[in-house]
Structure 1
Amino acid sequence: MNKIRVRVADWQKDIAEIRRIRETVFIAEQSVPPELEWDADDATAVHFLAFEGDFPIGTARLLPDGHIGRVSVLKDWRGMKVGDALMQAVIAEAEARGLKQQMLSAQVQATAFYERLGFSLVSEEFLEAGIPHVDMVRHSA
């Protein structure tokens, strides 16, 4: 396996790859309605792409208020630390922008993953797009 690398994406130039990953993970695999997946926040978010070699395999976004979302990795690359690399890049970018607090709504099954990265639970379980979620927060030093 090649080394995983993550870079800040250009929404205009990289939209096809971002859409391909998010549509595969959220719409096809998890049955999220397309109208819930795509929103106005995409235009103002900082997007990230994870690559193995030259092939995009994961994506995430950071909103100006410190919300992290749309963290997704293609099935064949899960369990290979791609999510870790993506999240470390997002957190580093948030901190570079002076966002001392990062927030996200995590799917309940991914809670332990985010806890390993320093996030703490701050809500009860709730449904989002029919999937159980919890809100989590991380504070930078």
Structure 2
Amino acid sequence: MSRSIWVGSFEELGPIVIPIREQVFVVEQGVPPEIERDDRDEVSQHVVLVEDGLFVGTGRIDLEHDGKIGRLAVLERSRNRNFGTLIMRALEEIAKREDLVSVWLHSQTVVIPFYRQLGYVEDGDSFTEAGISHVLMRKEL
């Protein structure tokens, strides 16, 4: 099995990123398509995980918003294989290269344990975003 991480701009990776996110967020989770895409895509760094020539997951980091990580998505057929962890580590490495001392994200409450095991800590009460319960989480790098 060959596995690689691609890092790039939305201009470079958007055609790969969008179908993954649409499948996970719009089709599976019912997020309205008009809010899945936002103006932060253009200014964020994007990561794509490739396994055996297939695009299996993605995430982004918004360096202009103090290292906000978002849009972490792994296709259903590729879940439970630590791919989310690999993507998160790649995003954190981007933050470190940019000399950020911490990163943050809005975690869906159902996946808080995933982020906790990566060292993220909840910061505040839960809130609803795109009709889904979330909580702010932070990690010192």
Q: TM-score range by the shorter chain?
A: over 0.9
Hey, what's the Cα distance between the residues in 1 that align with 2:77 and 2:28? Answer: 13
Separation of aligned partners in 2, 1:74 and 1:9: 20
Residue 90 (structure 1) aligns with: 91
Structure 1, 8-17 or 42-51: larger mean CA deviation:
8-17
Instruction: Please list every run of 5 or more consecutive structure 1 residues that lacks an aligned counterpart in the other structure.
Output: none
- 2:6 corresponds in structure 1 to 7
- Does the aligned pair in 2 maintain the 1:4–1:85 contact within 8 Å? no
Instruction: Output the aligned Cα RMSD.
Output: 1.0
Displacement after TM superposition at 1:3 (Å): 4.2
8 Å contact from structure 1 (residues 49, 58) kept in 2: yes
What's 1:113 paired with?
A: 114
Measured in 1, the distance between the counterparts of 2:55 and 2:95 equals 22
Deviations 1:52-77 (Å, cap 9, x if unpaired)?
Answer: 12111100000012000000000001
Q: CA separation of 1:112/1:3 partners in 2, compared to 1, >3 Å: closer, same or farther?
A: farther
Q: Are 2:9 and 2:42, in contact at CA under 8 Å, matched by a contact in 1?
A: no
Which letter maps to 2:53? D
Percent identity reads: 34
Which deviations, in whole Å up to 9, do the C-alpha atoms of 1:104-129 show, x marking residues without a partner?
A: 00001110110111100002111111
Q: Distance in 2 between matches of 1:3 and 1:112?
A: 28
- Counterpart residue identity of residue 9, structure 1: G
Letter in 2 for 1:55: L
1:24 aligns with 2:23: yes
Which residue number corresponds to residue 136 of structure 1? Answer: 137
How far apart in 1 are the matches of 2:85 and 2:2?
13
Aligned residue in 2 for 1:50: 49
Output the CA distance in 1 between the equivalents of 2:14 and 2:109.
28
Give the match for residue 58 of structure 2: 59
- What TM-score results when the alignment is normalised by the length of structure 1? 0.94
CA displacement at 1:10 relative to structure 2: 3.5
Alpha-carbon offset, residue 6 of structure 1: 1.6
User: Which secondary structure state, in structure 2, belongs to the residue aligned with residue 40 of structure 1?
Assistant: coil
**SS of structure 2 residue aligned to 1:118:** coil
- Which 5+ residue runs of structure 2 have no aligned equivalent? none
Measured after TM superposition, the shift of residue 14 of structure 1 is 2.1
